[in-house]
Structure 1
Amino acid sequence: MSRNRWLPNQHGAWAMLAVPFATGVFLGSPRWAHFPLLAAWLLGYIAAFHAQQWLRLRRISRNPKAPRRHVRPALVFGAAFAVCGLPLAVLHPWLVAAAACAAPFVAANTYYAWRNNERALLNGLLAVVPACGMLLVALHLGGGTWADGWRPALACLLYFGGTVPYVKTMIRERDSRAYYRGSVAYHGVALVAAAFLTPWLALPFAAYLARAALLPGRGLKVAVVGAVEVICSVALLVTVLLT
């Protein structure tokens, strides 16, 4: 099996997985325990992806080999997740409660996968919530508190929530005026909300609004869209850490 079949093809998810986590680490005190936590986080995501694809293809594919190719990656990554995650759960039992909070969102994403409707707007928005919640988990593991983390977590939620409709206006829904108007309206509201969190966040969120308003319809390649989002994600990380 090729590497492309082992790693998820949802390239835009990696920034969403990494930026809130890194923000939580550096807002608190980086510790060695963050390494197995990061490994468990990424391995759990990949295992869940393959399990969801297995369910989806079992339902819709006439080729019995199609779902079967996801079994081995799901088992391998699931076992690796357990190796990294179980010792952490023993040392830090509160991580079990954090995982329980994420479980309903994972279950909803699994349901959308089973229905072969992974591209649904709500499904994307639901996936953003536990990813941004990892900021609080990483922060608490580093000795931080809820008071330290809720504003940065909300800033991440505002940004990554906006990427869901925005990316659709660039690719799958590029001809939809309703999606375009909805994306621009969301980014306008997000700008105001971010400015209330801290005025410094108005700077990157103004840029996010500008890109949501100006870039759709310009025929940008997918790679360029991805590169812009990487820059936007880094800008959010830097702004949150500095402020």
Structure 2
Amino acid sequence: MNWFIPREHGAWAMLIVPYILGMLVSSASWLHLIFFIGVLAFYFASGPLLAYIRKPKLKKEVIPSLCIYISCGLLFTLPILYLFPRIIFIGFLIIPFFLLNLFFAKLKKERLFINDLVAIIALSFLVLISYYIGVGTVDAKSLLIMVINIIFFTASVFHVKTLIRERGNVKFLWSSHLFHGVTVALFFLLSLPVVAVAFLVGMLKAWFMPKAKRYKPIEIGLIEIANSIVFVVIIGVFL
């Protein structure tokens, strides 16, 4: 049986980081682990689902793994949804973004910048869900963390594309540099120096990482993972 396990390292980071941030800035508990296993199962379900959308002929191949993933997802999320039913309302907010991702997959336009942004926004709602599990509410702090997470991964997409698909595109490169620089300045102006420092690390990486060199995907992935870890530690611990 084909399990259709998602392999994009960027998507893994976009799934894990917002959830951990919401947990760290609220109150971590074993409920977070249970719900995250369910979220992970649903994420795995996106593998066979997207495979079917791209190639409808794979219908018989994707059904077994899709059913297993969805069943596991329901098994681990439903108990938490019973305890925190308002999480369902946050889930409804994610659906339109998820449908947009499916639409781009159907058009085979998944590499578009807008599709990446849609996915970032959708997965950033995990900040609110994780935060809600921790403290039982969604407040200004959780919304701020969500926005910070969106900006962080948008900057990451800018940078990664300058090294791969937009390599040699001077206009895109300067757009990336400008975005990174503005975010750091913006957070300093908003009197959020901790956030500014977290983004400063990414800015230095984007500005000074040699662009002429051809990087292997694994090299880029490891660098982005390291940057994500630094980001989580700074925001989750010091904000």
What TM-score do you get using the length of structure 1 for normalisation?
0.89
Q: Aligned residue pairs: how many? A: 235
Which deviations, in whole Å up to 9, do the C-alpha atoms of 1:154-197 show, x marking residues without a partner? 22111111111211111122122232122112112222233326
Corresponding position of 2:40? 42
- Which of 87, 90, 94 is equivalent to 1:102? 94
Corresponding position of 1:201? 195
Task: Please give the alpha-carbon distance, in whole angstroms, between the structure 2 residues aligned to 1:37 and 1:211.
Answer: 34
- Which of 146, 150, 175 is equivalent to 1:182? 175
The within-5 A match list for 1:62-81 is 64=57, 66=58, 68-81=60-73
Q: Is the 8 A contact 1:155 1:194 kept in 2?
A: no
Quote how far apart the aligned CAs of 1:95 are: 1.3
Q: Is the 8 A contact 1:29 1:142 kept in 2?
A: yes
Extract unaligned runs of 5+ from structure 1. 59-63
Corresponding position of 2:113? 121
Classify the secondary structure of the residue corresponding to 2:55.
Answer: helix
Which deviations, in whole Å up to 9, do the C-alpha atoms of 1:4-46 show, x marking residues without a partner? x531021221111111111111211112211221012111112
Give, as a single letter, the amino acid of the residue that structure 1 aligns with 2:198: P
Alpha-carbon spacing, 1:70–1:173, altered in 2? closer, same or farther (3 Å): farther
Give, as a single letter, the amino acid of the residue that structure 2 aligns with 1:103: I
Corresponding position of 2:145? 152
Corresponding position of 1:25? 23
Alpha-carbon spacing, 1:53–1:194, altered in 2? closer, same or farther (3 Å): farther
Q: Which structure 1 residue ranges, 4+ long, deviate > 3 Å from structure 2?
A: 66-69
Task: Please give the alpha-carbon distance, in whole angstroms, between the structure 2 residues aligned to 1:238 and 1:67.
Answer: 42
Classify the secondary structure of the residue corresponding to 2:165.
Answer: coil
Quote how far apart the aligned CAs of 1:71 are: 2.8
Task: Please give the alpha-carbon distance, in whole angstroms, between the structure 1 residues aligned to 2:187 and 2:55.
Answer: 40
Q: Is the 8 A contact 1:55 1:67 kept in 2?
A: no
Moved more, 200-209 or 95-104: 200-209
Which deviations, in whole Å up to 9, do the C-alpha atoms of 1:25-82 show, x marking residues without a partner? 1211112211221012111112123212211112xxxxx3x55433322221111111
Task: Please give the alpha-carbon distance, in whole angstroms, between the structure 2 residues aligned to 1:68 and 1:116.
Answer: 21
Moved more, 49-58 or 102-111: 49-58
1:165 and 2:161 correspond: no
Task: Please give the alpha-carbon distance, in whole angstroms, between the structure 2 residues aligned to 1:197 and 1:51.
Answer: 43
Moved more, 121-130 or 194-203: 194-203
Give, as a single letter, the amino acid of the residue that structure 1 aligns with 2:201: A
Q: Is the 8 A contact 1:47 1:78 kept in 2?
A: yes
Extract unaligned runs of 5+ from structure 2. none
Alpha-carbon spacing, 1:77–1:219, altered in 2? closer, same or farther (3 Å): same
Task: Please give the alpha-carbon distance, in whole angstroms, between the structure 2 residues aligned to 1:133 and 1:76.
Answer: 24
RMSD between superposed Cα atoms in Å: 1.8
Quote how far apart the aligned CAs of 1:223 are: 1.4
Corresponding position of 1:51? 49
Q: Is the 8 A contact 1:188 1:209 kept in 2?
A: yes
Q: Is the 8 A contact 1:54 1:71 kept in 2?
A: no
Q: Is the 8 A contact 2:18 2:146 kept in 1?
A: yes
Percent pairwise identity: 24
